[in-house]
Structure 1
């Protein structure tokens, strides 16, 4: 990705416009981290020292601003996920993937929201979520094929863990910020193939999971 910032038309921004954009992204990162993806855009504009109209000129939609604000953390997550897929031992790769996922999730409430939801109609966020789902499938399948992870574990079960872990992070972030690690490793024991026993309720289908993530987005932004 080029280091030169361009506006929506692809034209390079003037220096003063680049500075305003940089301030907006920095303010958005702080607000989203504390208040989640539904943080006040007016407050973000005010913290950046610009009018709300200036914010919308740079970022016509909330999702445009989210994408710009989360880009560094998102790249950190995706790079860590790719590294987990290169771990030779499939179980260790699976553990590494989840530890990386929840480490990044724990550091930013807004990014936690972003991981938990789907935003249909936005090609970039759909591309990112599709890549995340592909990575989950790959790291999970590797561990299952090696006989290390229970065979009935599905993508939806991992997303369920993202949802539950997100709630735990909200509750413990100021009092026990690393509490998620204990919960994750308790769940990892439940995921081991040798611990498996039949479960009457099947996992959600991919279609059900997608609908649930979209529903969560609509409910939380209402």
Structure 2
């Protein structure tokens, strides 16, 4: 082998791999801060600025925003799924149901980004959507058990929980730091309206396919991936 044919020692690439991993963790930490503060409408560029990396580095680590959302919120989506498990373990299914609603709405209030995540579906974020689906199956069981106690109105539909999360996200966003506990009153009012006996009939719930399309609404703003480092 001639000198010109020599390849770099494999160990020389290790610092680059370590640096890349540090950049990835820095981006995830920055995204947690930015999304919690500004919600998912925050741009990839704002995350890059918070992380102190170039936009090209950002897109090398996370070519699509859904991939970044997946990495940032998988732990929160796991906590969301765990909240369903905890509710199912409650001796009183109605109290378990109420505790679940209050816990998840509190998670939304604590993190604007997660408030958005619960009302938006990301087909490309496989891990995130897998945990969401697990939680949904548990939610169906939780609703059935609460109805069986006679405390949850019979016409309550699983889509109503999605609407609760959408409503709570709107209240959290609208009140912000000016009235940070306003969501608690709204959630309490909603929970009381769920109790049996029902005071009156409800309009038809939205079709599940229609609600899914609503959760697939146009994605949050971002910036196009750069062609080069520039």
Scaled by the length of structure 2, what TM-score is found?
Answer: 0.83
Give, in whole Å, the separation in 2 of the partners of 1:43 and 1:182: 33
In 2, are the aligned partners of 1:38 and 1:221 still within 8 Å (CA)?
A: yes
Higher RCO structure (Cα 8 Å, ≥6 apart): 2
Name which one, 1 or 2, has greater alpha-carbon Rg. 2
Structure 1 residue 178, shift from structure 2 partner: 1.7
In 2, are the aligned partners of 1:81 and 1:100 still within 8 Å (CA)?
A: no
Structure 1 residue 151, shift from structure 2 partner: 0.6
Q: Report runs of 4+ in structure 1 exceeding 6 Å deviation.
A: none
Which residues of structure 1 form unaligned runs of 5+? 1-12
Report what 1:43 is aligned to: 46
Which residues of structure 2 form unaligned runs of 5+? 1-15, 223-230
Report what 2:178 is aligned to: 175
After superposition, where does 1:29-178 map in structure 2 within 5 Å? 29-178=32-181
Give, in whole Å, the separation in 2 of the partners of 1:89 and 1:106: 26
Cα RMSD for the two superposed structures: 1.9
Give, in whole Å, the separation in 2 of the partners of 1:66 and 1:103: 20
Describe the SS at the equivalent of 1:128: helix
Give, in whole Å, the separation in 1 of the partners of 2:32 and 2:85: 24
Deviation string 1:36-82 (CA, Å, 9 cap, x unpaired) is 11211112112212111211221121011111111332222222221
Give, in whole Å, the separation in 1 of the partners of 2:193 and 2:182: 18
Structure 1 residue 161, shift from structure 2 partner: 1.1
Give, in whole Å, the separation in 1 of the partners of 2:70 and 2:47: 15
Q: How many residues align?
A: 207
